[in-house]
Amino acid sequence: MKKVYGIFLFFVLVLLIAACSADSSSESDTESEGGSDENESSDSSSGEVEIFSWWTGAGEEDGLLALIDLFEEKHPDIAVENAAVAGGAGTNAKAVLATRMQGNDPPSTFQVHGGEELNKSWVAADKMEPINDLYEENEWMDKFPEELIEMVSEGDDIYSVPVNVHRGNVFFYNMKVFEENDIEVPTSFDEFFDAADQLQDAGITPIALGDKESWPATQIFENILLGVLGPDDYQNLFAGEIGFDDERVVEAAEIFGQMLDYVNEDHASRNWQDAGQLVANGEAAMLNMGDWAKGYFSNDLDLETNEDFGYFPFPETDGEFQVITDTFGLPKGVENTDDVKKFLTVLGSVEGQDTFNPLKGGIAARLDSDPDAYDEYGNDAMDAFQDSRLVPSLAHGSAASEGFLTKANQAVNIFVTQRDVDTFIQALESAAPEM
């Protein structure tokens, strides 16, 4: 292992020497303090930034367009190319991005989940520039939670700016359905399954699921893991300190199988928005989804928070917060670094985050955002974010590497169809070295 690591370091050193040699042969875009001139400034500005994301769906696209409008208002001399690629959780966008990055054709900046998706993919591949200077210039070090800064850092270097925070361990529910069937908000798995039985007896699908793409089912499983293991051992599991053959992981798989008994039969043909529509219509009672679903319910379906739909923490996870954070950084090789940093500055500002997040359904990543910009759900989420134990999401790339997540999604997909706990656990164990 040490030999492989040594070879890797040697390879990185060769790349760095080559990069330095290339820099020395031409004028650098960025000089040390006091050494820049007007030509260098113009070289790093093209008058256009390309923003690459997968925000094309309900709520999220509204937030992105509002953010772009704000940026262009502040920087009318810089045009924005919205290079969004459709596909839930970035399924399609990540493939397009990988092709571009490998081909040395990076977008000006791109959406990436904080945590392992950023650090074990693009930072480890030496494809990102540190942006510590941006944090220092904007005095951001005490504006973002320390845990979030750690998620976008490797060593002493910071590589991206969090624009939002979503909570993954939350159920949204149709309040009329609950009231008409005398359902109390469940806090434990036993209470949850009692409520599910009651709803099923009334002819209502208890849980809406749209796993046309496998990640929504993986999100349910990770939340069950959190409820069974607790926050410390949940993180220990993905750190490799607890095996997937642990009896509590087996218990979580069994609960997962039980929960799947209460989902809509056509789940495999639906996406998460389609599943949310079932809850909105009263055909299903509950939906476990990140709180971008709140933006969908409010902004696209015109439903009222705590009137038409309510919310509660995933059973057994009250006091815990499954963090999903979208971030943007500065890829190596882009020529318009000044323009990109201007966009990142707006992205990380209070105004930028409070423009974007109420529309998307999440909350600001900053600690000093304006509570008045958010509705009751947003304020509840802010309180939970500051008062809860924060844990990374597997389904959204923060808890483990992309290689492990791919295999975990495949294992979940097979389990949803076959319900074989032993095969599921074996598949996860086999994938564990990828973490």
Beta bridge partner(s), residue 305: 309
pLDDT digits (tens, 9 = 90+) for 230-273: 999 999 999 999 999 999 999 999 999 999 999 999 999 999 99
Beta strand 326-331 pairing with 160-162: antiparallel
Q: What is the pLDDT of residue 90?
A: 83
d(CA 19, CA 337): 17
* Percent of the chain residues topping a pLDDT of 90: 84
CATH number of this structure's domain 46-165+326-389: 3.40.190.10
pLDDT digits (tens, 9 = 90+) for 301-322: 999 999 999 999 999 999 999 9
Does residue 188 surpass a pLDDT of 70? Answer: yes
Domain range list for the chain: 46-165+326-389, 167-323+393-434
End-to-end CA distance of the chain: 16
- Does 167-323+393-434 match 46-165+326-389 at the fold level? yes
Task: With cut-offs at 50, 70 and 90, classify the pLDDT of residue 332.
Answer: very high
pLDDT digits (tens, 9 = 90+) for 37-83: 333 333 577 799 999 999 998 778 999 999 999 999 999 999 999 99
Beta bridge partner(s), residue 129: 330
Beta bridge partner(s), residue 331: 128
Q: Count other Cβ atoms within 10 Å, centred on residue 3.
A: 7
Query: Helices 337-347 and 60-74 meet at what angle, rounded to 10?
Result: 120
Beta bridge partner(s), residue 207: 263, 286
Please list, residue by residue across 112-147, b when 16 or more beta carbons sit within 10 angstroms of its beta carbon and e when fewer do: bbbbbbbbbbbbeeebbbbbeebbeeeebeebbbee
Asked if 130 and 157 count as a contact pair (C-beta separation under 8 A), the reply is yes
Top-ranked range on mean pLDDT: pick from 33-42, 100-109, 295-304: 100-109
- Spatial neighbors of 317 by CB under 8 A, at least 6 apart, are 169, 223, 226, 227
DSSP letters along 41-109, please? HHHT--SEEEEE----STTHHHHHHHHHHHHHHH-TTSEEEE----SGGGHHHHHHHHHHHHTT---SE
d(CA 407, CA 424): 11
- How many helices (H) and strands (E) the chain has is answered by 18, 15
Rounded to whole angstroms, the maximal C-alpha distance in the chain is 75
Domain made up of 167-323+393-434: CATH architecture: 3-Layer(aba) Sandwich (3.40)
Map tokens 């500002």 to a residue.
Answer: 349
How many angstroms from the chain centroid is the CA of residue 204?
31
* H-helix or E-strand spanning residue 312: strand 309-313
Asked if 414 and 428 count as a contact pair (C-beta separation under 8 A), the reply is no
Burial of 320 (0-12, 13-18, 19+ CB in 10 A): buried
| Residue-averaged pLDDT of the chain | 90
Dig out the tokens for 157 from the structure. 């270097």
Length of the chain: 435
Closest CA to 361 of 98, 58, 50: 58
Higher pLDDT, 121 or 45: 121
d(CA 129, CA 406): 26
d(CA 390, CA 170): 14
Per DSSP, which regions of 195-283 are E strands?
205-207
Asked if 322 and 222 count as a contact pair (C-beta separation under 8 A), the reply is yes
Could you tell me the sign of the dihedral formed by the alpha carbons of 304, 215, 394, 249, in that order? positive
Q: What is the pLDDT of residue 45?
A: 74
Count CA within 13 A, CB hemisphere, residue 225: 30
